[in-house]
């Protein structure tokens, strides 16, 4: 149920959903001209607000944890824990479709190649509501083996469907309370706050390594203030993460 509610939450709290609803209502009640006009003004204001790159990047900068230089982390970790949510699988063409969060995997591979992590642990099954057959961690393990990483250096868990379950199921396999292994948690910067809280709750002691940073160096160029349609999706991502963090905190998952 919690998994399904999180998917509904993602849709309901999208800024584009709000704007479309406001515009739709304004046309439904168009006979009430004053109210309809106010709704359209609000909708248009939200349209400008949530399509502005500068405002978004400043908000994301406040949310994302600071990145770390490699010199700021240990020279070696037994496990690099990589959270999924970086791909979909095209069964027809037997092909992985990566999204921007694949930086999680690329950075983990780089750290492995540099002998900074001994094993890559990939946590995550299927994040889809209806199709639970394609397990993301299994697919990614096969992909890494093709790239030349030995199978014995890749461990996975295939049950979890969200960040909380990532931590719970990973703890069942890695048993952090029964050993002295060292862990490096690897996930996107926007996702790290929630992931960090969940894994600490399950008894993990670890360092963090953020990837896929949205808010890089602050720049002031003319285009940063111009509305961009793609910023809507970025806002939906940020609101989903902040909302998810609050819900997890309230329900005791952090």
Q: What is the pLDDT of residues 143-154, one digit of tens each?
A: 999 999 999 999
Give mean pLDDT, residues 206-225: 87
Residue 197: enclosing H or E segment and its boundaries?
A: helix 192-201
pLDDT reported for residue 92: 87
Q: What is the pLDDT of residues 17-75, one digit of tens each?
A: 889 999 899 989 888 888 999 999 999 999 999 999 999 999 999 999 999 999 999 99
Mean pLDDT of the chain: 90
3-state SS assignment for residue 35: helix
pLDDT reported for residue 2: 54
Measured distance CA(66)–CA(57) in Å, rounded: 14
pLDDT reported for residue 193: 97
- Rounded (to 5) percent helix, strand, coil in the chain: 55, 15, 30
Among residues 173, 145, 146, 175, the alpha carbon closest in space to that of 157 is found at 173
Q: Are 87 and 46 in contact (CB under 8 A)?
A: no
3-state SS assignment for residue 126: coil
Q: What is the pLDDT of residues 66-123, one digit of tens each?
A: 999 999 999 999 999 999 999 999 888 889 999 989 999 999 999 999 999 999 999 9
- Domain extents in the chain: 2-64+229-250, 70-211
Q: How far is CA 221 from CA 54, 128, 218, 225, 237, in A?
A: 10, 39, 10, 8, 24
What is the DSSP-derived secondary structure letter of residue 73? S
Q: Are 126 and 133 in contact (CB under 8 A)?
A: yes
pTM listed for this prediction: 0.88
Say which CATH class 70-211 falls into.
alpha beta
Residue 174: enclosing H or E segment and its boundaries?
A: helix 163-174
Whether the pLDDT of residue 13 is over 90: the answer is: no
């Amino acid at each position: 149920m919690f998994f399904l509610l999180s998917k509904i939450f993602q849709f309901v709290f999208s800024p584009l959903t709000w704007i479309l609803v406001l515009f739709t209502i304004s046309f439904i009640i168009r006979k009430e001209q004053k109210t309809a006009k106010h709704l359209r003004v609000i909708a248009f204001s939200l349209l400008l607000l949530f399509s502005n790159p500068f405002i978004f990047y400043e908000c994301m900068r406040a949310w994302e944890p600071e990145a770390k230089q490699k010199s700021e982390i240990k020279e070696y970790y037994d496990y690099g824990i990589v959270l999924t949510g970086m791909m979909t699988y095209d069964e027809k063409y037997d092909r992985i479709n990566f999204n921007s969060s694949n930086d999680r995997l690329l950075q983990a591979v780089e750290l492995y190649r540099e002998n900074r992590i001994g094993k890559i642990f990939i946590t995550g099954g299927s994040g889809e509501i209806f199709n639970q057959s394609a397990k993301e961690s299994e697919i990614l393990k096969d992909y890494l083996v093709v790239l030349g990483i030995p199978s014995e250096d890749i461990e996975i868990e295939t049950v979890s469907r969200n960040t909380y379950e990532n931590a719970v199921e990973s703890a069942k396999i890695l048993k952090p309370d029964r050993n002295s292994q060292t862990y490096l948690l690897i996930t996107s910067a926007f996702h790290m706050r929630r992931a960090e809280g969940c894994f600490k709750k399950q008894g993990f002691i670890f360092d963090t390594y953020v990837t896929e940073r949205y808010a890089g160096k602050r720049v002031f160029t003319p285009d940063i203030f111009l509305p961009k349609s793609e910023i809507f999706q970025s806002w939906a991502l940020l609101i989903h993460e902040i909302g998810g963090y609050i819900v997890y905190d309230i329900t005791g998952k952090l």
